[in-house]
Amino acid sequence: MKNKILIFVLAAATMVFVCCKKEGKEGQTSISAADASNIDLKEIREITKEAYIYGFPIVDNSRIQYAYFVDKQNPEYKAPWNKIRNVPRVFTSEDKAVQTPNSDTPYSWIGLDLRSEPIVFVIPPIEKNRYWSLQLIDLYTFNFAYLGSRTTGNNGGVYMLSGPNWKGEKPKGIDKVIPCETEIALGIIRTQLFNPGDLKNVEAIQKKYDVKTLSAFLGKAAPVQAKPIDFIKPLSPEEQKKSLEFFNNLNFALQFCPVNASEKDLRARFAKIGVQEGKAFNPDSLSADVKNAMNEGIKDAWLEIAELKKRIVTGELSSGDAFGTREFLKNNYLFRMSGAFLGIYGNSIEEAVYPSYYVDSNGEKLNGKNKYTFKLPPGQLPPVNSFWSLTMYDQPASLLVANRLNRYLLNSTMLGQFKKDADGGFTFYIQADSPGKDKESNWLPAPKGDFALIMRLYWPKEEALNGSWKHPKLIKN
């Protein structure tokens, strides 16, 4: 019998109401035995793997949004929902909530709660040569829309973002209406910084970005507001990798994700093991055999990610395969999970390309005990319409590396600071210790242990998209 039936025990109603409730949707409780299907342990393991791969981006996205927009005691806290927070600086080694952050562009952050009414973005005119973008990311982590230099230009405009329940015509004064399929979303504005002395100019632009509700924009009375969400506390990144509480967090987040037509059968399959929007998931109610099967399913998911990462390391796959719209990814949940794990909130390929270095030209893992060179031959700078950079990250945390130069990257706006080779190209030194005072201008400091390098090509040209441009290899000396 133990191999045939998955039993879920009904939690006390008061406990469920406190720990896994979305305001406005009372009556949702944990999965009971009557709701469970008669499935064997093998199928439980398979479904767990599928649900974990599907849900990891949602849970990790929710973890970050909790830190940024809910937990005011968190040092990473930005602002309340639907309020813009401009950060007039770039990311440093002190920023630890988001893995693989860029340190090129000061960010503006907007946590979006679209349940009550649409949100309006008012964008000021920005000088033609300065790159900017507003990346719109739903709770699944799909990049469902972009505003910015590449898509809408630098002349400014007024854009409205609507949630899945909004119905209506485009209001007067709105240039474009952008629909979002989830009730919770995220906006990230990147504003190009040319050099440290340019920071005040970026700050002046950021202050002109305006975000307001549709009713406030129109000067009308606000509609009835959705009740505040009683968020559950997220797991830590390490806990997310192995704890069955992961599925309780997933169920909570799924309340804000109306079932997409393409996923109706998939979501029904997940419900067989208790993964269902608005339902409490209590790992303590599971039998030892079921717990073991589900834990093995999580391990299976990470084995698939490990195999996929090998294909990324060898160049068979790129970041361009992992980020984009639902239509672009074609519901490839493994690719979506890899994107969230390796660099959540990465841009879609049209906006940025990310050549990645996890190994050197000999296929050996990068480590600070070694010294490497990275050469850009004359006339072969990365092909971009905007700018490019090369950023250092420790491994496995994938965070920026503290160093005495406070230098986390090399980029195209720094070209005037670099020493040229005799042939007119550039040689960069990637190592933990100084290559010597005469070479420090071209030095990117590495940690003592494992590390990775990520290139970023913002608004890439066609040769970067079609593969005709090949990114340089990293040579161990």
Which residue pairs, CB below 8 angstroms and at least 24 apart, start in 229-237? 229/22, 229/23, 229/113, 230/18, 230/21, 230/22, 230/23, 231/66, 231/70, 232/19, 232/20, 233/66, 234/59, 234/62, 234/63, 234/66, 234/67, 235/59, 235/63, 237/60, 237/63, 237/99
Distance from chain centroid for Cα 217:
29
The pLDDT value given to residue 41: 96
The domain ranges of the chain are 42-63+232-342, 78-218, 355-476
The pLDDT value given to residue 20: 38
Q: How far apart are CA 336 and CA 348, in angstroms?
A: 12
The pLDDT value given to residue 314: 81
R_g of the chain, CA atoms, integer Å: 24
Written as tens digits, the pLDDT of the chain (477 aa) is 434 333 333 333 333 333 333 443 333 334 433 334 478 999 999 999 999 999 999 999 999 999 999 999 999 999 999 999 999 888 899 998 888 888 889 999 999 999 999 999 999 999 999 999 999 999 999 999 999 999 999 999 999 999 999 999 999 999 999 999 999 999 999 999 988 889 999 999 999 999 999 999 999 999 999 999 999 999 999 999 999 999 999 999 999 999 999 999 999 999 999 999 999 999 999 999 999 999 999 999 999 999 998 898 887 888 789 999 999 999 999 999 999 998 899 999 999 999 999 999 999 999 999 999 999 999 999 999 999 999 999 999 999 999 999 999 999 989 999 999 999 999 999 999 999 999 999 999 999 999 999 999 999 999 999 989 989 999 999
Q: Give pTM, 2 decimals.
A: 0.86
Q: Spell 253-287 as b/e; 16+ CB within 10 A means b.
A: bbbbbeeeeebeebbebbbbbbbbbbbbbbbebbe
Architecture of domain 355-476: Sandwich (2.60)
In CATH, 78-218 is 2.60.40.1610: yes
Domains 78-218 and 355-476 share a fold: no
Task: Give CA separation, 193 vs 16, 131, 161, in Å.
Answer: 47, 9, 27
The pLDDT value given to residue 441: 97
The pLDDT value given to residue 96: 87
- Judge whether 106 and 87 are in contact, CB under 8 Å: yes
- Judge whether 251 and 25 are in contact, CB under 8 Å: no
In terms of Cα–Cα distance, which of 158, 151, 146 is closest to 118?
158
- Judge whether 386 and 411 are in contact, CB under 8 Å: no
